[in-house]
Every structure is written in C-alpha cells, then in structure tokens.
Structure 1
C-alpha cells in the first residue's frame, strides 16, 4: 500500500512539474497573469448513484450518501490568477469510487428492494478539469494586494473529463471482475436498441465552494467541497431493468465461462430463496432518470510561483475595489 501511494505521489509531482513548466513559459510570453500557484490536494470522496443508499426511496445527492463507502482522492493543480478575484485552475486527480447494497439498513420500506438487489461495484477514477475560482469578498477588501493571514471564500465552476472502469464482486468466487464487457443490462444487444455500450471516458461539471487561508504571500491552504455532475448513469454499471439471462448464452456462447459470469453479475439476488423468487426480466434494476454523480471534500495546499511584482514577467490586471 505504501509503495503504491509513493508511486501515485511521484506521478502527481511529475505532472505538476510538467504543468508548471508549461504554464510559466506560456504565461510569461502572453504576460497577462498576475500570479501562478501550484499545489496538491487530498481528501475523502464519495459516490452518489444507484447502489447503496439509505432508508426509503432512493433520491440521489446527499440523502443517499454512504459514509461507509468513503474513499480518497489525491491530485495536483496549477492556478493562474488574471485578477485578485479570479483564478483559472487546471487540476488532475486520482481516486476510487464505490457502492454496495449490503450496507443498506433496511426498515421494511422501499430500500428493501435495493438491499435485495445485492449488487456492488468499485472503480478507480482519473479526472482532469479546468475551472474558474471566484473570490467575491475581494471587492470589499481595502487592500487586495495584502494576503498575509487573509481568509477568502470562493466558488468553483468548470468542465472536466473523467475515466472509470466499474468492477463487481463475483458472488461465486469473490473475485472482482470488469463489468462493462459483460453487458449486464443488454448493452449492445439487438433486443435493446436503446441500450448502447457506455463509454469509460465521460464529461463532468465540477461545482463547489471553498475557503482559502493565506499563511503568507506565497503559501496558502484551502478547504473545499466539489460536486461532479455527470452525464452517465453507468459509473456503477446499474441503470435500468433486468434482462432475460438466456441472452447471455445467445451472445457469449451457450454454457461459456463469460455467459455464466454475466448471468451471475447481472442478477445477484437469491433466486433460490424459499421466500422470494428474485428479480426477473423487466424488473427494475436501477433508476435511469437520475445520472450518477460523485463529490470530494478535502484540503488544497498551494505555493505561489514566480514574481508578484509589476515587472516584465507579469502585467497586473487590477480589479475594482469597494472603498468606504
């Protein structure tokens, strides 16, 4: 585990170094940015989708947040400041997302169907995004140039891309297997023309709030919460209804190892139970009207690069200041 973490940190450092070199060279040439910050971030992340959840109807967002499935995300960033009230951040992050129906605490309500579904997933996550940071309180500061021990709240909004690969635990062996190629909901089957194979690289919209504390003119620390809106319902490989399991034999070969694996992963309910026949073709497996999402909450450490003055390398863009 330690060796794996060291590798991730090394990759993150190299990425930041490359971004820093490119950013400084580019911004020095166009000469419009007041300052450039580079840094790292670390904190918990959580998945919001079909799997897992809490009592009652699955509603998405924080209502179905599962603390037990909290993972971690680390990253690096380069932020250019064309003005004191505005930052343009380029960030890369690596983490994990997960969900599990077993953790649902049933109370005899609508959540029992999700608990009986008995599905789980985990996926590594790699994302990159470009976002604007807006610091509204700058307009009320007497001297925006003075950063020493200053606190600034800010908002974040941008656009990004992320890559994932959902895996589920095999109920027979306990091994984690890739789910996309198994077409668990008939993706790519002629019988379901509206269910296309989903792509493992998707767009997202990061949005959030944070507060930044400047320890001095060159070092800052921030705490922020960023939610990612996505345009897919298949981060956890669950979206719509169960299909006829015989189709797996038809498309993957009757009795083949892949067909048998697809059967097990597509429907993990106990169909041999004496109290329930389990879910069958056409029964609800997920909620296609709600796309998946995820969020992170963590600390961001930043270091200012270059020269803060109005020299040849930087041409400051003044922001309006409200004075009394």
Structure 2
C-alpha cells in the first residue's frame, strides 16, 4: 500500500509539473503551396507557387515539446508547359487542386523556447504528425475549370477498366518538416517553416497510369472526359490505348511553406522548475 501511495504521489507531481509548464498560442499562417508528381518533379518550383493561408492552435507542454492543430488552405498546381522535358511539353497536361488540410502535429524545439518565456528568443524545430485533407483536381478548358475526378479521365468507372475505381477526394497524409521560431515581443512570436505531405494517392493531379481507350471514354464518360484526358499539342495525339500517361508507382506530394504570426494566450512563463520548468501566472 505504501508503494502505491508513493507511486500516485509521484504521478501527481509529474502531472502538476507538466500542467504548470504549459502555455498556449494562436497563429495565422501565410505562405505558398507547391506540389510534386507527374506534372512537376520538384516540390520547389517557382513557376507553380500559389498562396496558402491557415490558422492554428499550439499547446506548449514544456520548452521543448508542443503539439498543434490547424487548418491550411492552398491550391497546388502545375503545368507540363512549364517543363523542360519534351515529352511533358507534348503531353500538355495541367491541373490545380483546391486543398483543405487539417492536421495534428507534434513539435520538438532544439533549444528551450516559448513566447511566454523570456530566456530564449530563437529556436530551430522539427515536426511530424497526421493530416486529413480534401482535394479536388481541376483542369482549365477555355475560360472554365472542370472537376476531373467525376470525368474518369483514365477510364475510372467504365466497364472496360473495372480495376480503376474513382478515387476518393478525402484522404490521409503524413506531414513532416521543420523551421525556426522567433520571439518578437512579450506576447508575439513568428515561425518560419516548410512542411511536406507524403500522400497515399497518385491521383492528386488526376494523372497516374495509362491512357484509356478514347472510344470507351466517349461512350461511358462523355466527350469532356476524352478532351481532358489527352491535351497533347501540335496534332501529335499521345492517346494510344495503354500508352503511359503517369507513373502509378510514385505517389504525389504537396508542401506548404511560409510564416506564422503567433499570439501567446499565456502572460508569463517562469523557467525555474526542473525537469518541467516554469509556472504560468
């Protein structure tokens, strides 16, 4: 019984220390969204930068560990016309995908840091966690944008390609990245970061496998599906049935890069307790 009491007291002391060491922040993210896949072979592509915005809540468990939840919106995009690859230029595909990304992330600061802590004004950090995102690849034709998933541009949903089901637009991803945190004032801080998302789909850009038979597409998915499945230029149609259109073995990625302005909801953090330093007032 005495051992149990001592153990419970030990847990109580640890829990109290963790709670006392915690502080909270709210943040607004402004940055860019980029993509890597069949139409762009790099996450760093200046030709396809698009704005991204987001909000987050961060809970600092102590000066090194924190978790955060947030939502980020961006429109990753790319075009074969921007590629130096002659095949991609002939293929002439392009897309954009309005993407909502909800995420839960763990953060680790390499230096002790909290906005409410006056000891450290700068810290590099890394993060990782889980994202749930909704995407919607679209292609432009004339002055209009068309949703690609319902069109089954690679034969999805047709009787000739029963193994190609229409992909879901709500997916899970693995986010990870890093950056730097800066204390700006007593209540404000700034974060500079880049965070990639490892996807479990190759249809973020609606390009993955081979060209479908255009007669099948026309009969079952309609004329618009045929037009948007093969955008090749100069009269050199690439739509030979079963010819490679994408690379199904290489999954897609997207990334958000930018700055976050954070506001500390905690007035003060005294870094005077070991191992969970500090007490909020």
| TM-score (structure 1 length as normaliser) | 0.74
* Alignment pair present for 1:135 and 2:114: no
* Alignment pair present for 1:261 and 2:221: no
Q: Deviations over 1:126-151 (max 9, x none)?
A: 1110001101223xx9x998436611
- Long gaps (5+) in structure 1: 1-29, 54-59, 106-110, 253-258, 311-315
Q: Deviations over 1:157-203 (max 9, x none)?
A: 01011111111122xx3421111111000112232232111111111
Whether the aligned pair in 2 keeps the contact of 1:48 and 1:293 (CA below 8 Å) is yes
Q: Deviations over 1:253-287 (max 9, x none)?
A: xxxxxx111110011114x73xx453311111011
- Structure number with higher helix proportion: 1
Looking at structure 1, the residues matched to 129 and 82 of structure 2 have their Cα atoms a distance apart, in angstroms, of: 33
CA RMSD of aligned residues (A): 2.6
Whether the aligned pair in 2 keeps the contact of 1:133 and 1:154 (CA below 8 Å) is yes
Looking at structure 2, the residues matched to 144 and 220 of structure 1 have their Cα atoms a distance apart, in angstroms, of: 6
Looking at structure 2, the residues matched to 137 and 306 of structure 1 have their Cα atoms a distance apart, in angstroms, of: 20
- Long gaps (5+) in structure 2: 1-17
Out of 196, 203, 210, the position equivalent to 1:227 is 196
Looking at structure 2, the residues matched to 67 and 248 of structure 1 have their Cα atoms a distance apart, in angstroms, of: 35
* Alignment pair present for 1:92 and 2:71: yes
Match of 1:66 in 2: 45
Whether the aligned pair in 1 keeps the contact of 2:208 and 2:247 (CA below 8 Å) is yes
Q: Deviations over 1:229-275 (max 9, x none)?
A: 111111111011001011123324xxxxxx111110011114x73xx
Matches within 5 A, 1:203-242: 203-242=172-211
Out of 129, 147, 154, the position equivalent to 1:185 is 154
SS for the counterpart of 1:211 is strand
Q: Deviations over 1:195-237 (max 9, x none)?
A: 1111111111111111101123421111111111111111111
Looking at structure 2, the residues matched to 186 and 33 of structure 1 have their Cα atoms a distance apart, in angstroms, of: 56
Greater Cα shift, 209-218 or 176-185: 209-218
Looking at structure 1, the residues matched to 274 and 147 of structure 2 have their Cα atoms a distance apart, in angstroms, of: 50
Whether the aligned pair in 1 keeps the contact of 2:191 and 2:261 (CA below 8 Å) is yes
Whether the aligned pair in 2 keeps the contact of 1:122 and 1:167 (CA below 8 Å) is yes
C-alpha spacing 1:46/1:235, structure 2 compared with 1 (3 Å)? same
- Structure number with higher strand proportion: 2
| TM-score (structure 2 length as normaliser) | 0.84
Out of 22, 27, 34, the position equivalent to 1:46 is 34
